[in-house]
Amino acid sequence: MDSATPTLADADADAALTRAHALFLQQRDAEALPLARAAAEAMPRRPDAWTLRGILEQRLGRPQAAESAYRAALRVAPRYADAWTNLGNLLRERGDRAGTLRAFRQA
């Protein structure tokens, strides 16, 4: 976790994830990302938190961090279709045809 990411008590983590998702829907990605990072760190068993973090990282031009977040979601929930789909989209953007096909098959 970097110094720009707030730490959350477990009781606040779900609220932070909800707020991050609301900001994401408003395309306020830079505001949403620190909340999504904190939520994923506070709730590491939630693939939806990792996936939202990945989406935000990707949209903000951080493909390595996005891939790491998607893969964290998949370690927690190997069949989590949203993470596979977003990972596939990221790999497609990179031109990784084989990786894209593997990810989409898993989704």
pLDDT (tens digit per residue) in 76-101: 999 999 999 999 999 999 999 999 99
Identify the pLDDT of residue 16: 95
Quick one: what percent of the chain has pLDDT higher than 70? 90
- Quote the pTM value: 0.89
pLDDT (tens digit per residue) in 23-41: 999 999 999 999 999 999 9
Contacts for 16-23 with beta carbons within 8 Å, 24 or more apart?
16/42, 17/43, 17/46, 17/48, 17/49, 17/52, 20/52, 20/56, 21/52
